[in-house]
Chain A
Amino acid sequence: MLRIKEDDYAYSSARIRVKETKLLGKSHFDRMLDASSADDAYKVLIESEYGIPGRNTPGVFAYEELLADEMKKCYTLLLEMAPQPEVVKAFQRRHDFFNIKVLLKAEFSGKEMSGILMDTGTFDKEVMTSMIRERDYRELTPIMQEAVEQARELFSKTQDPQIVDIILDKASYHQLVIDLDNIKSPFLQRLAVLITDTTNIKMFIRARSLNKSWDFIEKILLKDGTIAQELYFESSGKPIDDFVELIRSSEYADVVERGWEISRKNKNSAYLEKLLDNTIMEYVRGAKFVTMGVEPLIAYLFAKEAEIRNVRIIMTGKINKLSVDLVRERLRESYV
């Protein structure tokens, strides 16, 4: 188990505090929302030091590249100053799983998809490409190896590309839980639980909205959560209201109830999902009161991810000329 010596984090925690002042806050988002066109919103983004300095800034329609650059910049910073890179790598592995998923699907469908590979994983995207292509999995973690082999096997039986998503997404969360459990930090362990539970609730409600059966739901549910599988099983054949009733006994009662009330009216689960995301952000905000440790670093990572998600929501809204109120409603709570 990886022990965290708080004093070792004195430098990085202080540096992050200054970085936090440069995160985009409500006023930035408001300026982007109030911009008269997508181009103007994009300008606000460029002015706020988005992307990697010196790199050509792509045009407004290629804003995703800018966001990918920003994510890359965040990981580079964290890896550079984290006394124990393993703490950051635990979160980077999610991107490895994403890349594996893309590569397998590209291989199965015969399409070229290298454009959407992320370069924020622990493995370089070129290295990952050749490992998956040549079926040389020695460098991968045991969970990755197992997932790739299972995905290949099941795909050859079923020819269903969705199976690749299910297996690798599940493995990705499992890897995160295992990695975080290996670090002696109650903050990270609790974070892993929150991520797992909220993901399960989201997936369950989405699946039930599509009237999926327990057979399917059982396949997608993550095993490491605190909400018992039986609870999901019991409510799997019933309306979602019954699930909301059953979950009363858990700590997510309030969020799910409030979220579902609105989501039921809107006939989509977006609002509930937003509240669940906000739950994680509220927890992560606790890091503001920690002077030294992994907390400020990981909180910054989450803050950046939430910020990028919000920028994406605003940019797609602006490009598609959606109403400002509608876009604003979709925004997640930010860290600052």
Chain B
Amino acid sequence: MKFIDGQLLALLGATIAFLVSGIGSSKGVGTAGQAGAGVLTEDPSKFGSVVILEALPSTQAIYGFVIAFLIIGRITPDMSVIEGLHLLTAGIPVGFVGWISAIYQGKVATAGIQLIGKRPEALGSAITLALMVEMFAILSLIVSILMIG
């Protein structure tokens, strides 16, 4: 058996898609969650708004999961190294864009949580600002899907 085969490369693609975006989401949600705790310490009534903002950076991991799932579904026992490389490449956009965008979305969400700590009526604006970052994650998801074909 060869050391590198198509299956292994494809699995690596699935790993990148989920692992990298998952790390980003963990960090993003983690930071926003700490800020949320800060606001809730002073004002527990804001739990609903805080949770919406805190959850936003978790979508990147979901996109990563979708791509990893699609890649795994494409794996066949006799796939060539080229086919494997193809799927590996497809995992990269959602993985890396997801990683960075989740961290930055976490920062915007943190600022948004501070904003609603001061002005509860600004929840809509806070969500919109954080969703702007979401767009790049969505684009990377589409690119990865197109690459899988």
Interface residues of A (CB under 8 A from B): 7, 10-21, 81, 291-292
Contact across chains for A14 and B31 when beta carbons are under 8 A apart: no
With contacts A7-B31, A19-B42 known, is A14 near B110, CB below 8 A?
Answer: yes
Contact of A291 among B41, B107, B118 (CB under 8 A): B107
Min distance, Cβ B89 to any Cβ of chain A, angstroms: 32
B34 CB within 8 Å of chain A: yes
Contact between B34 and A11, CB atoms less than 8 A apart: yes
Q: Chain B at the A interface: mostly helix, strand, loop or mixed?
A: helix
Contact B118 A20, beta carbon cutoff 8 Å? yes
Compute the total of residue contacts between A and B using a CB distance below 8 Å: 56
Instruction: Give B114 Cβ to nearest chain A Cβ, in Å.
Output: 4
The 3 A-B pairs at the shortest CB distance, nearest first, are namely: A14-B38, A15-B38, A14-B35
Shortest A17–chain B CB gap in Å is: 4
Does A14 lie within 8 Å of B36, measured CB to CB? Answer: yes
Q: How far is the CA of A15 from the CA of B39 in the complex (A)?
A: 5
Contact A18 B42 (CB under 8 A): yes
- Answer whether residue B121 sits at the interface, using C-beta atoms and an 8 A cutoff: no
Choose from A13, A19, A20, A21 the contact partner of B35 (Cβ within 8 Å): A13
Residues of A with C-beta under 8 A to B34 = 7, 10-11, 14
Cα distance, A147 to B111, chains bound together (Å): 44
B48 to chain A, nearest CB (A): 16
Find chain A residues with CB under 8 A from B37 CB.
11, 14
Question: Among residues 98 to 124 in chain B, which have CB atoms less than 8 Å away from a CB atom of chain A?
Answer: 107, 110-111, 113-114, 117-118
Is B78 on the interface with A (CB-CB < 8 A)? no
Q: Please list 14 pairs of residues, one from A and one from B, whose beta carbons are closer than 8 Å in the complex, sorted by A's number.
A: A10-B32, A13-B114, A14-B110, A14-B113, A15-B38, A15-B39, A17-B118, A18-B39, A18-B118, A21-B117, A81-B38, A291-B114, A292-B107, A292-B110
CB closest chain-A residue, reference B114:
A17
Residue of B nearest to A289 (CB): B111
The answer to whether A15 touches B41 (Cβ under 8 A) is: yes
Residue in contact with B42 in the complex, picked from A7, A15, A292, CB distance below 8 Å: A15
A291 to B108, CA, bound (A): 9
**Is the CB–CB distance between A10 and B118 below 8 Å?**
no
Q: Is the CB of B42 within 8 A of A10?
A: no
User: A81–B114 Cα gap in the complex (Å)?
Assistant: 16
Question: Smallest CB–CB gap between B7 and chain A, Å?
Answer: 38
Contact B35 A10 (CB under 8 A): yes
- Look across to chain A and name the residue whose beta carbon is closest to the beta carbon of B115: A17
Using CB atoms, name the residue of chain B closest to A12.
Answer: B38
Complex CA gap A291/B37 in Å reads 15
Q: Is the CB of B117 within 8 A of A17?
A: yes
